[in-house]
Chains A and B, each alone.
Chain A
Amino acid sequence: MSDRGARIPRVLAIDAGGTMTDTFIVDEHGSFVVGKAQTTPEDESVGFMASARDALGQWDSTPEDGFPAIVSGIYSGTAMLNRLLQRQGLRVGCIVNAGHEDYLRLERGIQTYLGSSYSDRLHLATHFHNEPLVPRERMKGVRGRIDVFGDEVLPLRDEDVRVAARELLDEGVQGIVVSLLFSYRNSSHEQRVAAILEEEKKSSGVNGSVPVFLSSELYPMRRDLPRLNSTLIEAYAAEPSRTTLKAVRDITKKGGAKFELRVMSAHGGTVSIETAELGRTLVSGPIGGVVGGQALAERMGLRNVLCTDIGGTSFDIALITDGRFEITQTPDIARFVLNMPLVKIDSIGAGTGSFVRVNPNSNRPELGPDSAGSRIGVSWPPGGLETVSVTDLNLVLGRLNPDYFLGGDVDLDVELARDAIDRQLAGPLGLSVADAAAGVIELFEQTLKNEAVGQILGKGYSPTDYTLLCYGGGGPLHVAGYTDGVRYREVLVPAWAAGFSAFGCACADFDYRYDQTVDLPLLPSFGEVERAGIGTMITSAWLGLQDRVAAEFAKSTIERERIRFTHAVRMQYYGQLNDIEFISPHAALEGRAQVDDLIAAFEEAYAKMYASSARSPEFGYLVTHVIVHGTVDVEKPALPQMPEQPGTPPLKARRPVHWGRASDGEFVETDIFQLEEIRAGNSIEGPAIVEHSATTFAVPPGRSASLDCHHIFHLTDSSEA
C-alpha cells in the first residue's frame, strides 16, 4: 500500500443505510476505498466519522489529515425515510380546501395496497390504511376554489383561514402545510393564506418560529394528494433531517473540510442541505447506482445502458437511453404517492435473500415475495429461519463459499441448507437436492431475465441496443444466469459492484431541478400566432424556474454565471395521459419554427420510448410541465485507469460447483480466484468463481470474463472471446 499522505482524497460519498454507513473516498487518480461503520441513528455524524476514519485508515490517513483536501462531499441516507416509516416526524398542521379535510384518511384508497405483492394487491383482506402523518383534527379546511384553468370559482374566505390559523397555533404545531386545489396553476389563494398566517403568527406571539410550507412553491405540479403528501413530508420529516445533516456538515468542517456537503436528491443530482425541497432527498440509495450507470455510460461512450442491481430483497432495473436515465413524476414511496421527480427504477421482489417454496396446493415452485433479509437463510442458524432462501441454494451448489461469506465474518452451514432444501423443495418436486437448487435458481434468473428484456422490448428496442451493467452485492453471482442467451451489446460488471451505488453518488452533478405544471396545448388547428404564443409562455415559465434554481445556488454562494441551465418539457399527445420528458432543442422558444422543433423533438423521443404504432400526432400536443435543470461543475471520480497485463490471475483454490445445465447437471471442479488478485487485462475462463468479501462473481462454463483497464469485467460467451 501507499505511504502515508501519498494519496490525496478528493471526493467523498457517504451512504448511511439503516444498519451500516458506507464511505466511499476517491483520490485524484480515480482510485478509491470503501469504509464501513455501524450507523448511529441518534446522531448520524458519529457513524459517519467512524466510517470515514475506516476508509481513510486504509490509506493510512485520518479525517483530520484527509478532509482539508476533499473538494466534493455527497451524503445519502435513510434517516428521513425511517422517520417517515416510524411516524417520528414533527407536529404539523395542514390547511386544505374546505370539504377535503379527509385527504389523509381517504388517501385515495390507493395507499391501502401500495408496495404489496401482486397477490396481495388482489387479496382484498390484506389492504389497510396508513396511520395519517397529521391527525384529522389538525387538518383544517378553508372555503374558496380555483379551477383547472386557474380561475377563481369561489373566493377564499379569510375568516376560515384566521380560525384555522389560530386553532393550529393554539395546538402548538411545529409547521403548517398549505395545499390548495390547482395552486400550481394559480397560487393566489395559497399566497393569501400565507399572508394571513403571518399576521396570525405575529398576533399569537410565535412570530416566525412556525414555518409555513406552500405546495405551490415547493411542488407546483398537478395531482392533489401527491402534492399534499410531498409538501407534508417536507414539513414532517425533512425539516428534522436538516438538523442531522447540519451535524454531519459541522463535523466535517471541524475536521478541516472546505467543501460544502451536498445531498443526493431523487432526480439524480445533488443539492445543498440548505435547499427548500429537502424532501426530495427522501430516497437516494437505489438512485446512486443509476447515476453511476449514467456516469459510466458517459465516460465509456455507451449510448444505452440497462442498469441491474440485485440486493437481498429486490431486483432493480433502470434504463439509460441516449445517455439519460428516465424520470418518473409521481412515484410511490413507503406507501405514499408523491409529486416529485424520481429516477425511474422498476423493482421486482426477487433478490438473493428471497424465500423459495413449493406451493403445497399446486406443487409449483414459488419465489418470494418475502425474503430472509439480513437473516441470510437456513444455513445461518442465528437467523432462526426455517424457509430456504436463494442464498441457501447457491451454497449447496458450491457457488457461494460457506467459509468466506462476507469475507468469512459469518459462518454458514451447508448441511443445514441441504437438509432443508431436500425436505422443502427437492422432495415435493421429485428432484435431487442439486437439481432442485439449480432449477430454482434458473427459474429465479429467468424471472430477472424476463423483467430486464421486457423493459427493453417494451420500449420497442432490442437487447443488442443496450449494454447491460450489473452491480449490487448479489448481482455478479447471477449476472451470467440472467443474461444467458440474450444478445446484449455487452455485459459489464464493475469490480467494485458492491460499492457501485456509493460510487454513483460521487458521480452526481450539483444540480437543482424544478418542475412546473403548465398544460399548454399545441393543437392541429392552431395558427402561426397561437403557436408562437405558446412558445413565449413556455419560455417565460422556464425563466421563472431559472430564477428559483439561481436562488438555490445562491445559498451555496454560487453566482448565476456559473450555472449551466438545461431546459426540458414533459409533453404528451393531446387527450392522452402519459407524458414523456425530453430536453428542448432551444433554451427559449422564439417563434413558430422553434416550437415546431420542440414538437419534432417530442416525436423523436416518443418513438424512442414506445412502439411507433403508439404515435398519435393527429390529436395535437399538450405541454404538461416545464422543467429547468441548473448544474455547476464539481469534481467527480474518474474511472480507474490501470495498465493492462494479459494473463491469468493466481488461483486461490478449486472446488466442485454445480452449474446447472451449463455443467450438464453435474458438479465440476471450478477455479476460485480472489478479486483483489486479478490485474487489469487478466482473463478468466469459466467455470470460475471470483470471491471478494462483499460479493461473489460467477463465471459459468462457456462464459469468460476479462478485467479491463477501468477495473470492469466484460462477461462474454467463450465462443465470442
Chain B
Amino acid sequence: MATLDSTRRTPGQHGGIGWDGRTLLSMLEESESLFAQTGHYAGLRELEMMRSDPIGYEKLFSRLRGGLVSARSTALNISASPIVRELGELCFALYTPEGDSLALSTGIIVHVHTMSDAIKWMVRHRYEENPGIRPGDVFANNDPTIGDVHNADVQTFVPIFWEDELIAWAGGVTHVLDIGASTPGGVPVGPTMRYEDGIDLPCMKIGEHDELAPWHLERCRKRTRASAYYMLDERTRLAGCHMIRDAVERVLAEEGTRRFKVFSREVIEEGRRSFKARIREMTIPGRYRSPAVFDAEFSDKEQLPARARRDIVMHSPFEVRIGGDGTYELDYEGCSAWGWHSMNCTPSGMQGAIWVMFTQTLICNDKINDGAYFAIKTNFPEGTISNLGEAEGSTAIAWAFLQPSFTGFPRTISRALQARGFIEEILAAYSVSGNVQQGGGIDQYGSSSAIMNFEVSAQGMGAKYVLDGTDYCAAMFNPEGDMGDVEMWELISPFVYLSRRVKASSGGPGRHRGGSSFESLFMVNKTPFWELQNIGTGRVLSSAGLFGGYPGATAYIHNIHGADLTERALRGEAYPVADGDFEHPALMEIEGDSREYKNDGMTLLSPFANGDLYLSVMKGGAGLGDPLLRPVADVHRDVSEGHLLPRFAESIYGVGDRDAHRRRRLERARPTRDWVASERERILAQDLARPIKEMYAESMRLSPRWAAEYRGFWDLPEDFDFDVLTPTVTVARAQPGRTDPDDAADAFLAASEPVASTPSPGGGRLDRETLEALLDERLSRREVKEIQSGYKDADRFEKWISVLQDRVAYDDPIVLPAGEGLNIVRRRSDGQLVHRCDCGHDFCAHNRNWKMDAVVHVRESEEAILEVYPKMAGPDPTLQHLREYFCPSCARQLEVEALPPGYPVVHEFLPDVEGFYRGWLGREVPA
C-alpha cells in the first residue's frame, strides 16, 4: 500500500491541504480573528454573490442541500437499527475545511453544531500533520467533550478533496442503539463515570481508501450489544458521506471551486444575519429567566458505588439575554455542579439542545447552518452539569438534564412572542420525555440484545395561547414524534404490550391544558434473562406552566414481579391491562411476589422474568393561563374524554362556583413580601431538605454572581452559605458578596443598548379582524395552521396593542404586554411605566418584579398539592412547592412557579422597553 501511495502526490506535502495551500489551522485562526474583529463571519460585510446573482446563489444552495437530503434518505434504507430506520435518528451535514456547517439534511438537527466542534478539534490538534488527512480517509468521533451530546451519537467524517485541496467535509451522525456502556441502551442509566460510557472514539482515523479499518470494525463488533445494528449504522454513515462527496464533486466540476468557496462563506454569514433578523422580528430585547429543577433518587440504589449514592436535585438557571442587535445569549451561571451520574453535559451537547429548540420554533426551515451559531453567545461555566469540563463524570444520558433544563426555552421565547403579539406561536413547556424504558439480555430469539423503547418520542406538548397542548405528539428532542407500532417494538423486544392508553390528568391544568400523555404496560415474554431500567421524572415537576397555568404531572413506576395476571387470564377471569387512574391504580388488583410502586425517576438495571409487569407512565405538557378562565364546557369534555380525573373539575377549575374560588384564593394568599420574610427565616435556619441545600450550595460555590444575587434577594449576610458538603465542587465555601436584585436589573437595563434596526418587512398579511378571531379562538385548526405556517405581518405589534387596548377598561396606553392579563402601561396620572392587571390593578414599576407586589399562595403540603395533582403525579413538597401568584384585586392567577423551597421569586421578564421602542421600532415609548 505504501508504494502505491508514494506514486501520487500527497496533499499537504507542499504547504497546507486547505484552500489555496493554506493549513487548516491557519484557515480556522483567520476565520476566528476576522469574526472577532468585524462581527461578520469571515469578515464578510457584503454578500456579493447573493446580491449580484441571487438565483445562482439559491440554486447552489438547493443543489448542495438536495445532495444531503438524498444521502440521508438513501442511507436510511441501509441502516438496520430501529431508531435510525423507524425514527430517523440520522443526520448529514456539509462543512467548510475549518468546520463550519453550510447546510444540513433533515433528521436530528441537534447536531447542527456538534460535528463542527469535532472538526475544529481535529484542526486545532493539527490532524493535517498527524495522523494526516488524505483523500479516502475516514474519521469518527463520539466524544461529548470534543463535540457530541453523548457517546451513543456516533459521527463519521470524510474529507472532500478537489485537486489536492481540501474543499469541504462531509459529516454524518446516527444515534446508535447501544454503545457498549456499563449498562445497555442508547441512553444508559448506570454509568457514574466516563470510564463506563462505552466505546469512545475521540476523533479517530478509522479508515483509509474509503474503507473502514478492520481493527475498528472488530472493536465495535465486540464492544457493543446488538452489534449487527451498530455495524450497519457504521456502514450507513460512511455510505451517506460518500454520496455527499459525490454530490459536492459534481457541483465543483460544474461550478468551479472559486464559486463554491465564495458561496461557502456567504451562506454562513447570511445564516448569521437571518438569525439575528428573526430574533428582532419576533422578540423583545431584555432579560428572561426560567429556572427548572430535576431530581434523581440515588441514595437507595445499592448497585451504585458509594460516591454516587446521594439524592440529587439539579438546578438549571436558564437566563436568556436578548441583545440590542438581536444576539441571543444563554447563561447558565448558577447551574448545579457536575456529578457522579450519567446526566452531565458538555457545551457541545448544550448547543445541540439550543438548535433543537430554535428549529422547532423560530427558525423551522431548511436553511439552518452554523451562521446561526455565530449569532448566539453562551456561558456554560466549567465544573457545572452544563459543562463538566475535564471532570470524570459520565455524559451517557445528557438528555436527562437537557430536557428539563430547556423547558426554559419555550417559556422565555413565549414571553417575547406574547409581548410582540405572535400568539399563534406561543407554547408552554413540553413534557420531559419519560419513562424511557431500556433493557438488555437474551431476547426472544435467543440472541444477546439491547433495546431502548423510543415511544417516548410522542409525549404531551405544552399548551398554546389559542389551543390546548397537542396530546401524545412529539418530544423535545424530535418534533417528528412517532411512538412506533406495537408490533414493531414486540418484534425486537421480549415483551408484549398489554396496553397503550391515554393517561388522565397527565397534562398541566390551565386556561389551555397541556397535552395529555399515555401509559404503556409491558409483560415480559419468552426471555431466559432480561433486565430493565428507566429514566423519567420522579419527585419534582419539570415542565413549568405559563401565564398562570400549571406544570405537567410527574410520573411513577409500577412494576410487579411474579404477577398472577397470566393465571387469572387462564382461569377466564377479568383482569386489568393498565393502571389508569393515578389515584386508583388498577394493577393493585394483580398480585405478585414483589411490587415496585413509587415516584422514582431513575431506576437501575434489574432483572425481569417472564410474566413480570412493567408500567411506563409518560408525561404531559404544561398548562397556560388561569384555569378559572377555561370554559366550563371544555372542562366537562376533558373529563368525558379522559383527559382529566373528575374531582379536579372542581378543585382546579371550580366549575361549580368560580367566584367562590376566587374569594378562596384571596383568603388563602398573603402578600408576597410577607411570604418572603417568613421563607427568609427558614433559609437562615437552614431548614431545607438536604438535596436542596446541596443544590444551593453548589450553585453558590460555583458562581459568586449567583450567590451574591441569592443573598441579595433574601437579604442574607454577605458570607451566608449552606452547611453542607459539595464533593464535586472544588471550593468548600461560597465567595462572599451580596447584590440587590433591583440593582442587578437596573444594571442590566443600563447596559442594554438596542441598535437601530431596519423594521422587519414581515411579508404576512394577517389583518386585525383575523388576529381578533385568532385570539377569540374562532378559527378552525386549519386556519390557525395557515397563520402559523405563513410569514409574519410586519405591524403585528401595533395591531396587537390596539386589540388589547380595546379590551381593557382603562384608557392609559398599553406600552408592552407582559403576560396574559398583564401589561406594562403608561400611567398618565404620574407618567410612570407600571405593570397593570387587566382589572386595572397596578403592581409596580415596569423594571421591577410584579410578583413582589402580588399575593401568593404557596402549596407546600401534600394536602394542598393534592388539590391540583393526583397522588403520584405531584411533587414531593420537601423538594418543590408551587407558588401561585394572584392579582390582589381580581384574584386572577397570573403565574405559577414550581421551584424548591428557598428559591428566590423569579423575575421572569425584564424587557428593555425604551430600547425596544427607540431601537427596534424607531419611535418613542408612548407618552
A residues with CB within 8 A of B: 98-102, 105-106, 108-110, 112-113, 117-129, 136, 141, 143-145, 147-149, 153-155, 157, 159-160, 181-182, 222-226, 357, 359-365, 370, 386, 429-431, 439-440, 442-443, 446-447, 450-451, 454-455, 457-459, 573, 575-578, 610-611, 613-614, 616, 619
Distance in Å from the Cβ of A426 to the closest Cβ of chain B?
11
Q: How far is the CA of A450 from the CA of B64 in the complex (A)?
A: 9
Give the residue name and chain of the B residue nearest to A609 (CB): B77
Q: List 8 tightest A-B contacts by C-beta distance, closest first.
A: A99-B499, A109-B458, A439-B55, A450-B66, A360-B761, A454-B70, A99-B577, A360-B763
Are B360 and A458 in contact (CB-based, < 8 A)? no
Are A361 and B490 in contact (CB-based, < 8 A)? no
Instruction: Determine if B687 is an interface residue (Cβ-Cβ < 8 Å).
Output: no
Which of A122, A154, A370 sits near B364, CB closer than 8 Å? Answer: A122
Are A442 and B70 in contact (CB-based, < 8 A)? no
Q: How far is the CA of A225 from the CA of B50 in the complex (A)?
A: 47
Q: How far is the CA of A452 from the CA of B82 in the complex (A)?
A: 28
Interface 1/0 per residue, B278-289 and A, CB below 8 Å: 100100000000
Are B485 and A226 in contact (CB-based, < 8 A)? yes
Interface 1/0 per residue, B62-76 and A, CB below 8 Å: 110011011001101
Not counting A106-B458, A454-B69, a sample of 18 additional A-B residue pairs whose C-beta atoms are within 8 angstroms of each other reads A105-B472, A106-B472, A106-B502, A119-B366, A120-B785, A127-B473, A147-B496, A155-B572, A181-B497, A224-B486, A225-B485, A360-B763, A361-B277, A362-B273, A439-B55, A457-B246, A573-B80, A575-B228
Chain B residues whose C-beta falls within 8 Å of the C-beta of A357 in the assembled complex: 763, 791
Q: How far is the CA of A154 from the CA of B785 in the complex (A)?
A: 44
Chain A residues whose C-beta falls within 8 Å of the C-beta of B747 in the assembled complex: none
Which of B54, B243, B427, B498 sits near A145, CB closer than 8 Å? Answer: B498
Q: How far is the CA of A89 from the CA of B51 in the complex (A)?
A: 54
Supposing A124-B479, A147-B490, A431-B54 touch, asked if A575 and B74 sit within 8 A by C-beta, the answer is: no
Which of A108, A123, A149, A446 sits near B62, CB closer than 8 Å? Answer: A446
Give the residue name and chain of the B residue nearest to A428 (CB): B761
Supposing A223-B487, A365-B55 touch, asked if A118 and B106 sit within 8 A by C-beta, the answer is: yes
Q: How far is the CA of A188 from the CA of B365 in the complex (A)?
A: 49
Are B274 and A98 in contact (CB-based, < 8 A)? no
Supposing A99-B498, A147-B526, A578-B85 touch, asked if A430 and B62 sit within 8 A by C-beta, the answer is: no
Q: How far is the CA of A295 from the CA of B496 in the complex (A)?
A: 46
Chain B residues whose C-beta falls within 8 Å of the C-beta of A120 in the assembled complex: 364, 785, 788-789
Supposing A99-B497, A99-B521 touch, asked if A122 and B479 sit within 8 A by C-beta, the answer is: yes
28 A-B residue pairs with Cβ-Cβ distance under 8 Å, sorted by A, are A99-B501, A99-B521, A102-B502, A108-B483, A109-B481, A110-B483, A117-B789, A118-B365, A125-B361, A126-B788, A127-B479, A129-B470, A154-B569, A223-B488, A357-B791, A362-B274, A364-B367, A439-B54, A440-B55, A454-B67, A458-B70, A576-B232, A577-B79, A578-B76, A578-B77, A578-B80, A610-B74, A614-B77
Q: How far is the CA of A127 from the CA of B469 in the complex (A)?
A: 10
Are A125 and B464 in contact (CB-based, < 8 A)? yes
Chain A residues whose C-beta falls within 8 Å of the C-beta of B486 in the assembled complex: 100, 181, 224
Chain B residues whose C-beta falls within 8 Å of the C-beta of A102 in the assembled complex: 500-502, 518
Chain B residues whose C-beta falls within 8 Å of the C-beta of A430 in the assembled complex: 51, 54
Are B496 and A443 in contact (CB-based, < 8 A)? no
| Residue from A106, A109, A359 whose CB has the most chain B CB atoms within 10 Å | A109
Chain B 174-229 interface residues, beta-carbon cutoff 8 Å to A:
228-229
Are A122 and B523 in contact (CB-based, < 8 A)? no
Q: How far is the CA of A611 from the CA of B85 in the complex (A)?
A: 17
Distance in Å from the Cβ of A411 to the closest Cβ of chain B?
26
Interface size class of B (residues with CB under 8 A): 35 or more
Which of B59, B66, B246, B480 sits near A451, CB closer than 8 Å? Answer: B66
Chain B residues whose C-beta falls within 8 Å of the C-beta of A108 in the assembled complex: 458, 482-485
Chain A residues whose C-beta falls within 8 Å of the C-beta of B879 in the assembled complex: none
Q: How far is the CA of A430 from the CA of B53 in the complex (A)?
A: 9
Supposing A123-B789, A223-B485, A613-B235 touch, asked if A98 and B760 sit within 8 A by C-beta, the answer is: no
Give the residue name and chain of the B residue nearest to A123 (CB): B364
Supposing A124-B461, A362-B367 touch, asked if A429 and B54 sit within 8 A by C-beta, the answer is: yes
Instruction: Determine if B674 is an interface residue (Cβ-Cβ < 8 Å).
Output: no
Chain B residues whose C-beta falls within 8 Å of the C-beta of A182 in the assembled complex: 487, 490
Q: How far is the CA of A93 from the CA of B228 in the complex (A)?
A: 43
Are B457 and A109 in contact (CB-based, < 8 A)? yes
Distance in Å from the Cβ of A395 to the closest Cβ of chain B?
19
Give the residue name and chain of the A residue nearest to B461 (CB): A124
Chain B residues whose C-beta falls within 8 Å of the C-beta of A123 in the assembled complex: 360-361, 364, 479, 788-789
Chain A residues whose C-beta falls within 8 Å of the C-beta of B496 in the assembled complex: 145, 147, 153, 181
Chain B residues whose C-beta falls within 8 Å of the C-beta of A119 in the assembled complex: 364-366, 789
Instruction: Determine if B471 is an interface residue (Cβ-Cβ < 8 Å).
Output: yes
Instruction: Determine if B924 is an interface residue (Cβ-Cβ < 8 Å).
Output: no
Which of A101, A105, A141, A576 sits near B471, CB closer than 8 Å? Answer: A105
Supposing A112-B481, A360-B761 touch, asked if A457 and B470 sit within 8 A by C-beta, the answer is: no
Are A614 and B235 in contact (CB-based, < 8 A)? yes
Chain B residues whose C-beta falls within 8 Å of the C-beta of A363 in the assembled complex: 50, 54
Chain B 735-778 interface residues, beta-carbon cutoff 8 Å to A:
760-763, 765
Distance in Å from the Cβ of A349 to the closest Cβ of chain B?
12
Chain A residues whose C-beta falls within 8 Å of the C-beta of B361 in the assembled complex: 123-125
Give the residue name and chain of the B residue nearest to A438 (CB): B55
Are A127 and B574 in contact (CB-based, < 8 A)? no
| Residue from B70, B73, B278, B425 whose CB has the most chain A CB atoms within 10 Å | B70
Are B474 and A442 in contact (CB-based, < 8 A)? no
Distance in Å from the Cβ of B460 to the closest Cβ of chain A?
10
| Residue from B54, B74, B229, B496 whose CB has the most chain A CB atoms within 10 Å | B54
Q: How far is the CA of A113 from the CA of B785 in the complex (A)?
A: 11
Distance in Å from the Cβ of A331 to the closest Cβ of chain B?
15
Chain A residues whose C-beta falls within 8 Å of the C-beta of B491 in the assembled complex: 148, 222
Instruction: Determine if B506 is an interface residue (Cβ-Cβ < 8 Å).
Output: no
Chain B 433-461 interface residues, beta-carbon cutoff 8 Å to A:
444, 457-458, 461
Are B480 and A121 in contact (CB-based, < 8 A)? yes
Are B499 and A125 in contact (CB-based, < 8 A)? no
Are A364 and B58 in contact (CB-based, < 8 A)? yes
Supposing A98-B577, A99-B497, A99-B577 touch, asked if A446 and B569 sit within 8 A by C-beta, the answer is: no
Distance in Å from the Cβ of A109 to the closest Cβ of chain B?
3
Q: How far is the CA of A125 from the CA of B360 in the complex (A)?
A: 8
Are A360 and B760 in contact (CB-based, < 8 A)? yes
Supposing A121-B480, A143-B574, A442-B55 touch, asked if A148 and B80 sit within 8 A by C-beta, the answer is: no
Q: How far is the CA of A578 from the CA of B229 in the complex (A)?
A: 13
Supposing A124-B360, A145-B496 touch, asked if A106 and B518 sit within 8 A by C-beta, the answer is: yes
Distance in Å from the Cβ of A453 to the closest Cβ of chain B?
9
Supposing A143-B574, A148-B487, A361-B277 touch, asked if A576 and B80 sit within 8 A by C-beta, the answer is: yes
Chain A residues whose C-beta falls within 8 Å of the C-beta of B578 in the assembled complex: 99
Interface 1/0 per residue, B239-279 and A, CB below 8 Å: 10011001000000000000000000000001001100110
Chain B residues whose C-beta falls within 8 Å of the C-beta of A577 in the assembled complex: 79-80, 82, 85-86
Instruction: Determine if B525 is an interface residue (Cβ-Cβ < 8 Å).
Output: yes
Interface 1/0 per residue, B22-62 and A, CB below 8 Å: 00000000000000000000000000001100110111011
Are A614 and B239 in contact (CB-based, < 8 A)? yes
Distance in Å from the Cβ of B497 to the closest Cβ of chain A?
7
Interface 1/0 per residue, B490-525 and A, CB below 8 Å: 110000111111100000000000000010010101
Chain A residues whose C-beta falls within 8 Å of the C-beta of B274 in the assembled complex: 361-362
Chain B 787-803 interface residues, beta-carbon cutoff 8 Å to A:
788-789, 791, 794
Supposing A98-B499, A125-B361, A451-B66 touch, asked if A610 and B78 sit within 8 A by C-beta, the answer is: yes
Distance in Å from the Cβ of B636 to the closest Cβ of chain A?
15
Chain B residues whose C-beta falls within 8 Å of the C-beta of A576 in the assembled complex: 79-80, 85, 232
Are B481 and A125 in contact (CB-based, < 8 A)? no
Are A101 and B501 in contact (CB-based, < 8 A)? yes
Q: How far is the CA of A451 from the CA of B80 in the complex (A)?
A: 25
Q: How far is the CA of A306 from the CA of B763 in the complex (A)?
A: 38
Distance in Å from the Cβ of B451 to the closest Cβ of chain A?
13
